[in-house]
Amino acid sequence: MFKRFRRKRVNETLRNLVKETVLTKNDFIYPLFVKEGTGIKNEISSMPGVFQMSIDEILKECAYIRTIGLNSIILFAIPDLKDSIGSECLCEHSIISRTVKAIKKEFPDMFVVTDLCFCEYTDHGHCGILDENSTVNNDATLEISAQQALIHAKAGVDMIAPSGMMDGIIEALRTTLDSNGYENLPIMAYSTKFASAYYGPFRDVAESAPSKGDRKMYQMDPANRLEAIEESLEDERQGADILMVKPALAYLDVIREIRNASKLPLAVYNVSGEYAMLQAGKKAGIIDYERVMMETLLSFKRAGADIIITYHAKEACEILNKQ
Ligand code: PBG
Ligand code: ZN
């Protein structure tokens, strides 16, 4: 019998020698949600293990994740005050600035990324300013996005990640950052972001569901493969340092295509709905949660991702530490 495949699977050492893809603790960025107050740690019912936390609790969380070798986070804020233009995130006292400063003060070498958008800060829940017909005004949103970027930069963030899918956002942010002395601050673009039902649980955590309408006017149609590649290549042309595909699991084909089309580092966002499904499967006792999780995360790397933004980051690092 022809044994050309089986003879390389005979023992674990040989299997490891011929392994093509590995997950490491350096691959992950862990999302954290900050809320006003002290001593607050509210678990999200659809996302066990994911919390809204006040700054003091965020600091405790950072202290813990560093002990397991997880050193990169992405921050989302849930402000107390929301209005039509998201003014909370445009002042130097914003909850996100205070959080970044607190983290960088206590853990200067922690790599802190901020999500840059308006949906958490606006009372209507859209990712920018609305015009008379209740559609997001692209160019007006670019202006306030640049202001928000400077607030994050001044607070000492290590990388900004604009997630609102406005046209021209990367060029607008790069120009503003460069002309204000932040030439060394990298931008990770949410370059190919689909209008996805998989964001449902996130909108509960971030309290950011649009009060009316949806995001189909600015986020991508899940049906479009060629446009998905163009979206990322356009952000590359505008000066993005890292590209991203979001969500991850239902878009592995798109991850691979963008990997092949660009030489920039590529991130994927393993989103809230993907996490919630695995957690629900675990609770129902129908899957081996840890193995399914690690297999899922590995699939992102096999598809071509360099960086995985995931709510599983902590659990994955704990498992990798045991291996
Ligand atoms: C904000 C933003 C969203 C996510 C990340 N940044 C929500 C959205 O676009 O509706 C989703 C993350 C997740 O589902 O885990 N623009
Ligand atoms: Zn948004």
Residue 239 pLDDT > 80, yes or no?
yes
CATH for 179: 3.20.20.70
The ligand placed nearest to the CA atom of residue 121 is 2
Residue 11 located in a structural domain? no
Structural domains of the chain, count: 1
The residue ranking higher by pLDDT, 132 or 69, is 69
Q: Note the pLDDT tens digit of each residue in 190-221.
A: 999 999 999 999 988 888 888 888 899 899 99
Q: 113 alpha carbon to ligand 2 midpoint, in Å?
A: 16
Per residue, what are the HEC states of the chain? Answer: CCCCCHHHCCCHHHHHHCCCCCCCHHHEEEEEEEECCCCCEEEECCEEEEEEECHHHHHHHHHHHHHCCCCEEEEEEECCCCECCCHHHHCCCCHHHHHHHHHHHHCCCCEEEEEECCCCCECCCCCCCECCCCCECHHHHHHHHHHHHHHHHHHCCCEEEECCCCCCHHHHHHHHHHHCCCCCCCEECCCEEECCHHHHHHHHHCCCCCCCCCCCCCCECCCCCHHHHHHHHHHHHHCCCEEEEECCHHHHHHHHHHHHHCCCCEEEEECHHHHHHHHHHHHCCCCCHHHHHHHHHHHHHHHCCCEEEECCHHHHHHHHHHC
Residue 5 located in a structural domain? no
Specify whether 35 is catalytic: no
Residue 13 located in a structural domain? no
* Binding-site residues, ligand 1, Cβ < 6 A: 115, 117, 119, 127, 163-164, 199, 202-203, 271-272
Residue 2 located in a structural domain? no
State the pLDDT confidence band at 134, using cuts at 50, 70 and 90: confident
Specify whether 263 is catalytic: no
* pLDDT for 242: 98
Residue 9 located in a structural domain? no
Q: Note the pLDDT tens digit of each residue in 251-276.
A: 999 999 999 999 999 999 999 999 99
Residue 10 located in a structural domain? no
Residue 3 located in a structural domain? no
Minimum-distance ligand 1 atom for the alpha carbon of 271: 15
Residue 3 pLDDT > 90, yes or no?
no
* pLDDT for 1: 67
Q: 238 alpha carbon to ligand 1 midpoint, in Å?
A: 22
Residue 17 located in a structural domain? no
* pLDDT for 209: 85
The model carries a pTM of 0.97
Domain that holds residue 314: 22-322
